[in-house]
Amino acid sequence: MKTKNEDIIRKLFESKCSLSPEERAALNNYEYVNDTFHRQWEEMSEEAVDLVREEKILNGIMKKVRGRRFPFIKKSFYKYGMAAMIAVCMVLSALLLMKNSGEEIIYVVNTGYLSMDSVRLADGTKVMLNAGSRLTYPKEFSGEKREVQLSGQAFFEVTPDKTHPFVVKTQKMDVTVLGTSFEVFSYDGDEEGETVLLTGKVIVEVLESNQLKGGSYVLKPNEKLTYSKTDGISLTTIDADAYSSWRQGKRMSFKNETLEMILERLEKWYGQKIECVPHIARHYRFTFTMHSESLDLILNYISHSAPLNYRLISNDHYIIEEMK
């Protein structure tokens, strides 16, 4: 007879990792799964995933649930390929439940390649995460501020609370709000990042570093703050609703955006390296909406819309060049 936990694990694989908050909580409370994911989390490299090791971990989980191996896991690896496997492993890490030295419970949600995820926080705040993103947040907010940590791209609809500001902390900037909707694009290790304000008001504190002079900036609706190691900090006016439209239809849309900005997002979405010299990437602009196209099809569209060529130099590395 199937157990509830087995049904949840099967759903994780068979429906592309779409679990409800209740199912995630149930799996988090399953002691063996939680312990195994905790070990995986501490051992896993951010740069590569060992498929053989992950298969052993997952079969071990299922063996604990039912006392035998489950061949459907192996089939799913080959059916969906490397990108889907990485996505599965990343979402499995999202089930991790960590406890610090006190009693506070912290959740970590990761999105894989070619995937998005939504989270509702304890205060009612809604968060939509784009591909390759990580959000760390407490089960319950305590103290004077509601703080979360982000590496990646996320759209926030913050529940108003004037007495408890909401703070999104990233590696290079902190964004403070009272109640508003906005997008943050800031991956750990990247040299550039953005904050886009749709409604309300936010205060962006750009953290000072060896490459970037910090500062505090107040954004108004339809403003975008961009920080860059090479270009510094800039404020521009945009159509914020259109700019962040990916959150609605779970697809990315670009309107007169630079190739540089587009390639950054394509890299995160597809998990591929796309190389283009800066002066070319900043010169060309494109308008299009992605649905479920392959990366090759998108790059083909770009190369036919401008005097550009692209070529694959390895399994996960593309180069875009101007035609000679």
Distance CA 278, CA 294 (A): 24
* Domains in the chain, CATH or no CATH each: 4-95 (no CATH), 116-245 (2.60.120.1440), 251-324 (3.55.50.30)
Query: pLDDT 10s digit of each residue in the chain, 324 long?
Result: 455 666 666 555 444 444 555 665 565 555 555 555 444 444 443 333 344 444 455 555 555 544 444 444 443 333 334 444 444 444 444 444 444 435 567 888 777 777 788 899 999 999 999 888 999 999 899 889 999 999 999 999 999 998 999 999 999 899 999 789 999 999 988 888 999 999 999 999 988 776 667 789 999 999 999 988 777 889 999 888 888 878 776 577 788 888 998 999 899 888 899 999 999 999 999 988 887 788 888 998 898 889 999 999 988 899 999 987
Are 194 and 224 spatial neighbours (Cβ–Cβ below 8 Å)? yes
Distance CA 240, CA 247 (A): 12
Residue 188: helix, strand or coil by DSSP? coil
Distance CA 174, CA 251 (A): 26
Largest Cα–Cα distance in the chain? 66
Tokens of 132: 């390759």
Torsion sign across C-alpha atoms 301, 304, 305, 307: positive
Distance CA 189, CA 120 (A): 27
Tokens of 198: 């749709």
pTM score over 0.75: no
Torsion sign across C-alpha atoms 93, 97, 100, 101: negative
Distance CA 285, CA 43 (A): 41
Which residues are within 8 A (CB) of 146 and not within 5 positions of it... i.e. 6 or more apart?
A: 121, 123, 125, 161, 164, 165, 166, 167
Torsion sign across C-alpha atoms 13, 17, 21, 24: positive
